[in-house]
A and B are shown apart, each in its own frame.
Chain A
Amino acid sequence: MATLTLRDIKKSFAQTAVLHGVDLDVRHGEMIVIVGASGCGKSTLLRIVAGLEAATSGDVIIDGQNVTPLEPADRDVAMVFQNYALYPHMSVFQNMAYGLKIRGMPREEIIKRVDEAATLLGIQPLLERKPRQLSGGQRQRVAMGRAIVRNPKLFLFDEPLSNLDAKLRVQMRAEIRHLQKRLRVTSLFVTHDQVEAMTLGDRLVVMHAGHAAQIATPMEIWERPADTYVAGFIGSPSMNLLPATLLEGGGAARLDGSGLVLPFADGARGGAAGRKLTIGIRPEHLRIGQGGLDVMVELVEPLGGESVLHGKLADGTALTARLPGATYQDGAMGVILPLEFLHVFDGDSGKRIEAGR
């Protein structure tokens, strides 16, 4: 149990800047998921917290102590690696006992702790085996066991589920969440999978090109994404983003291309007429009907209970819809955009514009 504070973490490799100043405050027992596409800097951030990389500037503060200059061994953190990084020449028991042995714990205490963790994870029968004799899921559990026995201040997870098959991934996801809640250890979990992010995190940090684009709870990120990147990243299929222009008075926007006028249901936005906007609407919020946009549907993907329709607007802009049922055909279709589900972003910066701004 510990708090974690990141203060203006910057990192550059040679001339390339990878992190541009990340701030984060993590509470006791919180599970923070750091999510983003490859190359956004999320793993680097995690490794800086672990001490495996040194930040170019900025501070890492664990439980009020500035640990920035300290080696990983002195930070009292535990990490689960993407490839598990188990010691190949040691048995499962020895893998889990290693960190405790180093800290000079008495043998009986070590056995007790390892047993407890092994029971928790269901791996007692594997204690004498070597890593190469284990399946992927088993190795993952051992890696977690190794972290659990240490009773550290922080758990750090570096994309631990990426190497598992889909079914196992879902199962382990639930187990990890369950475990973390039970042990109440402050955790950082890095992933590129937005489903993992949404289901695991108390709060999410959406990383984009070295910046934290948004730090909020999953639902907040889904309902009010801070910019077009976050809007497009969370939610599948991605939110539709349509270029538009602000109308005189700020109470509505006209879509470029189709000319459709969309009044804002929650209030006017600031700015002169002609201000460039991007209007967002999620595929699952579109409805069939006349009076909205004319879409030429080119591909229907039936998923069973619903279908995903891929089409194009008159001016060539792509549009995706997720609609219930399975009775859709290619061809022309009319969709309406329910006004209460619109998202308004600045056309140049991509930042979200709330009513009254």
Chain B
Amino acid sequence: MGTSLDVNALADRTRRRQRREAFVTHACLALGVLIFAFPIYLTIIGSTHDVNTIGRGDVPLLPGGEAAANYAQAWGVGGGRFMGVPAGVMLFNSVIMAMCVAVGKIAISLTSAYAVVFFRFPFRMMFFWLIFITLMLPVEVRIIPTIQVMVDLNMTNSYQGLIIPLIASATATLLFRQFFLTIPDEYVEAAKIDGAGPIRFFIDVILPLSRTNVAALFVILFIYGWNQYLWPLLIVNDRSMETVVVGLTKMIGSGDSQNEWNVIMATAVLALLPPVAVVVLMQRWFVKGLTETEK
């Protein structure tokens, strides 16, 4: 190395560089957070003002006083140019749909994965591949014939119609299968020695072990169900069955300036609350679940 002077200079540069780097890191992350928070912030602010302020184009950056009125209207009456549906109703539909999709998918996938992993029976692998293939068929690709099936079965405009077709896709089943494969054989052997049958084993051993996976999947599937767009759009004509994501866009129509923007924004905020709450509250399981599923 060089003289003591060089080392001191290097040390100084290092210290300064480290401070600079920490600053840059904070700045970048803060900017990122801002970019994602700002649209929401704007919308929340907008939902607290009256329709004229927004319609005029005076975009407010600070809260106004109309929050109570707007949210009451959004919840109870609805808004938008075209006879709106009350957000209360739409939220209810969304909650039912998301909860049932999440719970239903988890239930079905648990039992299917259990069957495929812990038993041997003819066509076992064929069934597994059949389920696996559905990964490659997003609903948008078979949308029209699926609607046709629903019409034939008289399931349009109903909760069943909204929920059931979404329940069977493969991601959850694959996740559980992968997880079940990591459960040591010794557990099954111990259960057999103890005299427990497959159903007992499922309830007493498998379910408790699967708790984290179930929690993670719940978040993922709840969001999936809540955020559905094309499917509810087509399957539901009766406005009282509308979900809030679809209903919101219908309220906007073609984006006329004459819309009741304040109510629309309030509805948007309401539409965001449940899914965001679920993600934030269950964040740890959720992240774990996401990154383990796909790998």
Q: Assess whether B14 is in contact with A67, with CB atoms less than 8 Å apart.
A: no
Closest CB in chain B relative to A154 CB, distance in Å: 13
Within 8 A of A (CB), among B125-153: none
Q: Is the interface of B mostly helix, strand, loop or mixed?
A: helix
Q: Given contacts A71-B14, A74-B10, is CB(A66)–CB(B1) below 8 Å?
A: no
Within 8 A of B (CB), among A33-89: 63, 65-71, 74, 76
Query: Is B205 at the interface (CB under 8 A from chain A)?
Result: no
Q: Of B1, B10, B12, B14, which one neighbours A76 at CB under 8 angstroms?
A: B1
Query: Is B15 at the interface (CB under 8 A from chain A)?
Result: yes
Q: Which residues in A have their C-beta under 8 angstroms from that of B1?
A: 63, 65, 76
Q: Of A66, A68, A70, A71, which one neighbours B4 at CB under 8 angstroms?
A: A66
Q: Of A65, A66, A70, which one neighbours B14 at CB under 8 angstroms?
A: A70
Q: Assess whether B11 is in contact with A65, with CB atoms less than 8 Å apart.
A: no
Cα distance A66–B4 in the bound complex, in angstroms = 8
Cα distance A76–B7 in the bound complex, in angstroms = 13
Interface size on A, residues (CB 8 A): 10
Closest CB in chain A relative to B208 CB, distance in Å: 32
Chain B residue nearest in CB terms to A63: B1
Closest CB in chain A relative to B4 CB, distance in Å: 7
Q: Which residues in A have their C-beta under 8 angstroms from that of B15?
A: 69
Q: Which residues in A have their C-beta under 8 angstroms from that of B11?
A: 68-70
Q: Is the interface of A mostly helix, strand, loop or mixed?
A: loop
Cα distance A71–B10 in the bound complex, in angstroms = 9
- Interface size class, chain B: under 10
Cα distance A69–B15 in the bound complex, in angstroms = 7
Closest CB in chain B relative to A25 CB, distance in Å: 19
Closest CB in chain A relative to B70 CB, distance in Å: 47
Q: Which residues in A have their C-beta under 8 angstroms from that of B12?
A: 69
Cα distance A69–B11 in the bound complex, in angstroms = 5
Chain B residue nearest in CB terms to A2: B1
Cα distance A63–B3 in the bound complex, in angstroms = 11
Within 8 A of B (CB), among A220-262: none
Cα distance A74–B2 in the bound complex, in angstroms = 11
Cα distance A59–B10 in the bound complex, in angstroms = 16
Cα distance A68–B12 in the bound complex, in angstroms = 11
Q: Which residues in A have their C-beta under 8 angstroms from that of B14?
A: 69-71, 74
Chain A residue nearest in CB terms to B17: A71
Cα distance A70–B8 in the bound complex, in angstroms = 9
Closest CB in chain B relative to A126 CB, distance in Å: 29
Chain A residue nearest in CB terms to B7: A65
Cα distance A69–B7 in the bound complex, in angstroms = 9
Q: Which residues in B have their C-beta under 8 angstroms from that of A74?
A: 10, 14
Q: Which residues in B have their C-beta under 8 angstroms from that of A63?
A: 1
Cα distance A173–B14 in the bound complex, in angstroms = 37
Q: Which residues in B have their C-beta under 8 angstroms from that of A65?
A: 1, 4, 7
Cα distance A71–B1 in the bound complex, in angstroms = 14
Within 8 A of A (CB), among B38-58: none
Cα distance A63–B1 in the bound complex, in angstroms = 9
Closest CB in chain A relative to B36 CB, distance in Å: 31
Q: Which residues in A have their C-beta under 8 angstroms from that of B10?
A: 69-70, 74
Cα distance A67–B10 in the bound complex, in angstroms = 10
Cα distance A68–B7 in the bound complex, in angstroms = 10
The 8 A CB mask of A132-146 against B (1 = contact, 0 = none) is 000000000000000
Cα distance A295–B131 in the bound complex, in angstroms = 71
Cα distance A67–B6 in the bound complex, in angstroms = 11
Q: Which residues in B have their C-beta under 8 angstroms from that of A69?
A: 10-12, 14-15
Q: Which residues in A have their C-beta under 8 angstroms from that of B4?
A: 65-66
Q: Which residues in B have their C-beta under 8 angstroms from that of A71?
A: 14
Chain B residue nearest in CB terms to A66: B7
The 8 A CB mask of B10-43 against A (1 = contact, 0 = none) is 1110110000000000000000000000000000
Closest CB in chain B relative to A225 CB, distance in Å: 38
Closest CB in chain A relative to B32 CB, distance in Å: 27
Cα distance A66–B11 in the bound complex, in angstroms = 10
Chain A residue nearest in CB terms to B1: A65
In the A-B complex, list the 10 residue pairs whose CB atoms are closest, starting with the nearest.
A69-B11, A65-B1, A65-B7, A71-B14, A69-B14, A70-B11, A74-B10, A70-B10, A70-B14, A69-B15
Give the B-binding residues of A (Cβ under 8 A).
63, 65-71, 74, 76
- Contacts A66-B7, A76-B1 supplied; 19 other A-B pairs, CB < 8 Å: A63-B1, A65-B1, A65-B4, A65-B7, A66-B4, A67-B7, A68-B11, A69-B10, A69-B11, A69-B12, A69-B14, A69-B15, A70-B7, A70-B10, A70-B11, A70-B14, A71-B14, A74-B10, A74-B14
21 contacts between A and B (CB under 8 A): A63-B1, A65-B1, A65-B4, A65-B7, A66-B4, A66-B7, A67-B7, A68-B11, A69-B10, A69-B11, A69-B12, A69-B14, A69-B15, A70-B7, A70-B10, A70-B11, A70-B14, A71-B14, A74-B10, A74-B14, A76-B1
